[in-house]
Structures are given as structure tokens and as C-alpha cells.
Structure 1
């Protein structure tokens, strides 16, 4: 299961997956698989990521589904997504968050 809370905080801090991977001493592809929930994260992974993002682990932690579930099996079958597409999704997600913040500020000014 995709780590939505983790991705949101990482993007808010404008940290790329590549930068996170470097800070965690792993390859970008490895970090990407962990963030997308394709590879399980260990307690140590969660603690290191929380330290890098300067947050409490509880702010980013999301449990993984149990192995053997239908959703988990389907995800493994259809999880091959080109890195360039994931980078574009990351960029658009970050841009979307920025636009939402600008919209909030605009709405607050008009109230």
C-alpha cells in the first residue's frame, strides 16, 4: 500500500525520492518501491525516514497490508511503472499541493 502520509510530508519539504534515497544510503529505485508499498519497510527504515524528515515516526507510519491478500497480489502483478512516470507523478503531486496552498491563501484574503 502506497505510503501517502510519508509521500505528502516528503513533497511538502520538497525532497525528491533521489535525495531521500541518498540520505538513507540506498538506491532511488529501492526507496521508491518502499514508498509505493511494493517493498516492506522495517522499523529501522521508518525511524531513519522520520529522522531525515524531522518528524515523529507516528506522523508518517502506515501499516502494510498482510501478505497474501488479493490487493497485495494484484499490486505485485501490475506494479511495473517506469521511473520517468513516477517522477512526473511526484512533480504533479507537489505542484498540486502548492496550488492548493495558494488557493487557501487567496480564499483567506477574500474572506
Structure 2
């Protein structure tokens, strides 16, 4: 069943973040990741959440998501991201599609 990485990224240094943004898609693709949304306009419907740059990435399953997140190629990018942004990230397991 699909798994989703949801991140709220508060960019502090756009120039450094550009390197992260440029290099991260290739690492995700190796694990079956695909963007469902990133950096678009948001509208809070309830609560006091003030999102920054939201990103939603779908992976085939939680194993693939965690494989990417813990991979050596992404580890280098995590360090870059931590230097230029504050981030909240969660992994959400989807639900199985009903049998037809």
C-alpha cells in the first residue's frame, strides 16, 4: 500500500536550498517516489497551522519511503537541508484499495 512523505519546510537560505531542491528528485525516483504536491499555494481551513513550503511525495509503500529516507544518497542532502531550512516531516501509510 502506498506511503506518503509530508513535509513542511521553512526555508532560511534560498541559495543553499536550491542545491537541495535540484538534487533531491533523482534520489526519490530510485525508490519509486513521485511528487503529488510541492510549494504550491496553501489555505488553512481549520486550526492555527501556518504552513511554509509543503511537499507531498508518494512512494509505493513504507519500505520504499524509509529506504529512500535512510539511503546514503539522501543522507548528503539531509545535511544540506538542515543547514538552510527548518523542516517538519511525517511518513503516512495509505490505505489499501478495496478489491474490485
Please classify the TM superposition score into its range, dividing by the shorter chain length: 0.3 to 0.5
Structure number with greater CO (CA < 8 Å, separation at least 6) is: 2
- Report which of the two structures shows the higher radius of gyration computed on alpha carbons: 1
**Higher fraction of strand:** 2
Q: So what's the TM-score if we normalise by structure 1? A: 0.32
**Higher fraction of helix:** 1
Q: So what's the TM-score if we normalise by structure 2? A: 0.34
